[in-house]
Each structure stands twice: as structure tokens, then as C-alpha cells.
Structure 1
Amino acid sequence: MPGTLKRSPLKRPERPYIALGLEGSANKLGAGIIQHDPDGSTTVLSNIRHTYITPPGEGFLPQDTARHHRQWIHSVIKDSLKQAGVGIQDLDCICFTKGPGMGAPLQSVALVARTLALMFNKPLVGVNHCVGHIEMGRQITGAQNPVVLYVSGGNTQVIAYSQQRYRIFGETLDIAVGNCLDRFARVINLSNDPSPGYNIEQEAKKGKKLLPLPYTTKGMDVSLSGILSATEAYTYDKRFSQSAEPSPENDTITPADLCFSMQETVFAMLVEITERAMAHIGSKEVLIVGGVGCNERLQDMMGIMARERGGNVFATDERFCIDNGIMIAQAGLLSYRMGSVTPLSETSCTQRFRTDEVHVAWRA
């Protein structure tokens, strides 16, 4: 744990600052341009995204995802600049996802960021993907000092800010919640378009039966591999029917019942560990970030808990909770304005970049 850090609050800029953010840590490729104005406001100038979607029952492999990013990144950046009405010469810095994420896709996008920086003589800022989600969530919702539930395909963490670090209070002990949902969607052959999690959410609305599934919280942490195995086991049960209509009157188990049971159980676990963190630090705010944070049932369950504690829950829509370039631009520009740039020799990517490794110099 670091010692006492010098307080360095972020001052209002004396002129507009503009940054390009490039995100490609998984199957979403994004480019976004953000502007920080002298009056203290922040303007999203553009936020373009293209998603690599695989057939039902298939996941996305790193090499195929990287190929997708290489194929689309030129048009994504071009469209982002056009929508923002700026040129690369107008940028103060170019921000890219340094990690965590999938190795090959990360490297593909970082290579483009390095190339642009060298061609146009622009400083680079490497951004922690998780911190990008948090800072964009804070900016959009106005949450002041919340407990953060970060839920995505590769990460599940309960986080709170202290002494210029985002401290991890609890996390998954095995697989992330988004990975759990994606793999479950493949088991029941749900479409990946627009995303497995979204299709699980819609299917769960038809579910009638709450099936018993493993509920595994260990202090501030959760384990999700057991619930994934248990839901898969139900598909081999003689009562399971892929085509039957949900009905509480008969003994049939449907995919909708499994989706409903999966969501209710997993989200209850996440609400429990988030409430513990709120009690520990005395916070009345919860901010949900990450791709799974778009799920309205998760937001509803978290909202019930927060209201019972006299608090509020904050969340964003799919423009900002799903991986995007604008969140990388936001976190990178905050860091850049504090004087931080990433030397070219340190622009390599890492699949394991902990949230609490980042010095959050812009918060006092």
C-alpha cells in the first residue's frame, strides 16, 4: 500500500483540451473524442464503435478479434474525427487502452496509436481499461464518491476511492460475471447479436421458475464457476426443453427459466458484496460500470438495496457502459492534464493491469 500522497486537485483548463481515445481490449473496437473546456464542462464530440460478432454458440478468439480490429480501425477513427469536426492536428494527446484485456487485440490498437503519435508528433497516454470505465461513469452520472461495481466480460470488482487510488474491496475468485453469462449463452445457443448478455436479459423476462443454483460469496469476493456448471447441468435434465413455453404449472425447465434463475442468483451475490462495501466506507452511492452494468434487472436490484440504505444507484446506458473509446479519452485526458504521458518505450500492453495500480492524480 502506498504512503501518504501529495494532493493534486485537477484545476480548470485555461483553454479547451481535446483527446482521442482508442479502445480494443475485447470484441468492441471504439474511437472517441472528448473535449475539456475552461468553464469546467466536458463535451463528448464523438463516440464510434464497431463490434466483432460471432455465430451463436461460438466465442471470439484473440487472433480473430485482432484481425477484426485491424480491418475496421481506420474507418472507426476516420468516422470519429469526422463526427467531432476536428483533425488529428487539433488533438492534445492520443489515448489507448494499455490493459487489462486480450493480448492480440490490445496490441493491434496500441500499434495504431503509436503510429499516429509518431506521424503527427502527439503525446501518448496509456490508460487502464477499468479506470476508464469508472471515470466515464462518474462524468456522465455526476456520482461524487461512490462504491463502484465494475462488471464486464473480463472483470468483476467492488471498488472505492481512497488516497488517490481505486481500492479493490472484493472481486471474482475465478471467472468474471460477463464471461459467465457469455459462456452460459453459448450453452443454450443464444445469439451473440447484439450481445449474449442482452439476449439473456430479454429471455429472462419470460422465465417463471427460480431454480436452485450455487450461491457463493466469500467475504467480499464471489465465485461464479460453480453456477455456470450448475446451469449447464440443467440442460441435461430430462425436464429440460429447448422449445417449451415457460409455465409454472408443469415440471418443464426452459431456457428462459435458466436465464431468469442465473440473473437473479448472480446479481443477488453482486448486490450483497456491494452493500458490504457501502457499509464499510459509509457511502450512500453506488456506481455500476462495465458492459454488464447495462442490465436493467441488475440496476433494479441494486436500486432496491441502495434505497433501503437511504442511498442512490447510478448507471449509464449502452453508449458508455459497453466498452468504448470515449472512456479511454476521458481517463487519458485527465491524466494528461496532470502532466502524465507514456513514453514510447513503455507503450506495450499487458493483459493484467490492476485497477489499484493506477495513481489517480486528478482526484484530491
Structure 2
Amino acid sequence: IGLVRFCFLYAYCSVNINVFFLCVCPGLASGLEITSTGPTSIETASGKSVKLDCQFTLAPEDSGPLDIEWSLLSSDNQNEDKVVILYSGDRAYEDYYPPMKGRVHFNSADPKNGDASINVTGLKSSDSGTYQCKVKKAPGIRSRKMLLIVMVKPSMPRCYAEGPTQEGKDIVLRCVSSEGTIPLQYSWEKTSDSKLPTHPVAGTVNVRNASASASGTYRCTASNRVGSEQCILNLKVTPPPNTAGIIAGAIIAVLLILLIIAIILFCCIRARRRKRYEKEICNEIREDVPPPKSRVSTARSFTVGSQRSSLGSMSPSNLHEYALKPQYDKIPSSEEFERPPSHAPLPPTTVPRMGGPNLSRMGGIPVMIPAQNKDGSIV
């Protein structure tokens, strides 16, 4: 009796459970199925294309209109999911989501044949997320989710050396990529030597107490799961500079510069003085300047000398005549040149008449003097 009662209760519960699932999930009783068995997670690089697979099959009892909807699920339950592409009423709506406009298309021209897959081109890092393919054909409903991870390939890294590249100093080699999906891996190697130890994240190499042997060509490679890029660094370790020689050279250079400046200033000052002197000489020359006195003095000396010689050679008989001659044949002195015309000339001085005995007593020697006319010429 207990066994019969148990079987009766089991059959009753089984019927009720089946009725419940038929009411709540009518798609379970239909023939609509998603047949895609590929990976549900895809990793790819930005700029490439990807196919999100969603194959399905229909059954005779699925007689309603076919609706296919691809949506990008929100990571936050507070936000709504974003419909990316839609197929309804035998028509595809591909430009439904503005950020992916023109980059998402159905893989099949007629999705009713059982291919609801889509192709996304020109991938961006913002396209990463969970996508859901939902196929509806009443009474059947099926869905499939796929995780898309769009990774950015590392950009070309920048290689450089930190610190003075001199012997005995510590040099740090750095390698940095400005773009790329983490985690990024860095590796250094010397092209002519073995691989160097590096920090896998920061991409640095510490060369302590560098010597000339550290010089050479180094290559850094930045990589992640979707690609890699390289950069080259030429390192040259130089000997320490000669500080004393540098200081001496700087002092000599400064002295030479000062000497050149002094020579230039001296030449400029000398040229300016010469120009000023020439200008003053030009300004002193005037048209109204009288002739030099040296010529007058010469003429006067010549006249006085001539008069003395004439007086010395005159006889007592001619001395009186010479004293009484007009003085028009005398050369005027410089005072007469400089006297204004308004002043009348002074009368000539008369020489006292001397007799022959007086002249002989004074030591004079009688000399015959040729006669002269009034113009002073010898007859």
C-alpha cells in the first residue's frame, strides 16, 4: 500500500511540473533551437573584423513571425541594454545603433534560413562587451550570449636613456608605449649581446657604473596578446669631461672676445677723432683771411736792407735828394694793410740833411749813386 501511494504521488507531481513549464516557458515545448557550438568568448585586435556566430533551426510548430535581435548588454543593471541590429517583418535594421553605424551587418542576406550571425568591422576598444543573440518565432524563443574583448595593439614604444651617459655613472634605459591594452610586456636586448634582465611592466633597465663596453645598439619590444612593436636605442658611453680644459678654454675665449671688442672700440674712437679734426680744419679756412705776415716781414726786411745798403752807398750830395724823395716806392707794412681806408696815411718821416764833413766824421764813405727818376727806377 505504501509503494502504491508513493507511485501515485510521484506521477501527480510529474504532471504538475510539466504543466508549469509549459505555461511559463512555452519555448521549451517548441522546436526552435540555437545550434551554434563555437566559443562564447572572442579576443581580437582593434581595427580588425569579427563574426559573432548565431545559428538556429525551426520546427513546424514555430509558426509565428521571425524576429532576430542583437543587443549589447549593460554592465550596470541600472542601465538598459542597447539594441545593435534588428531583423523584423522580413526586413533588416542595420543602422540601429549610432556608435556602430555602418560597421555591423548580418552575415546572411536572408536570416530566415537559420543564420542570425553578424559581422562587425573596424573594431574599436569601445566595442568590447557582452552581446546577446535572441531569436523569436512564436511560440519558440532562444538566445545566446557572447563576450567580445577588443584589445588595442601596443603603439610603437619610445626608447630613451635617463641620466648622464658617462663612464662611472648609473644609466637607466626606459621603454614606454602610449597605447595598448594591458597587460603590456616589455623586453630589452642588445643586438650584439645576450638578453638583458628587465622589469616586465615598467620596461626599464638599470646599467650601474657604466663602462665603455655598455655602448651599443639596444632593442625594446612591447607586446600584449594581440600584437607587438619595437624601438631601437643607440647608447654611447663617453669618458668624463676634462673640467680644467673646459675652464681654460672658456677663459681664453672670453679674453679673445674682450680683445676684439677693445680693438674695435679703439678703431672707432680714432676714426671719430680724425673726422672731427678734419671738420675743424675745414671750418677754419675762410676767404677774408689776410695773407701770412711772414711774407710782409720778408718784404720789409728786404726793403730795410735795400734802404740801408742804399744809404750806405749814398754820397753827401745825394743823401739830401733821397731824403726829399716821396715815399711812394716803399712797400707798405702789415699795419698799413690792416688800417681801415677811412684813416689817412701819416706823412713820411724826413731824414735830416747831413753835410759831407759830418758824414766823414761819422765814418761814412762817399759813394757815387746813380740818378733815379720819380718812379724809383735807375737811370
TM-score computed with the length of structure 1 as normaliser: 0.19
TM-score, with structure 2 as normaliser: 0.19
Relative to its length, the structure with more helix (as a share) is 1
**Normalized per residue, which structure has more strand?**
2
Greater RCO, 1 or 2 (C-alpha within 8 Å, sep 6+): 1
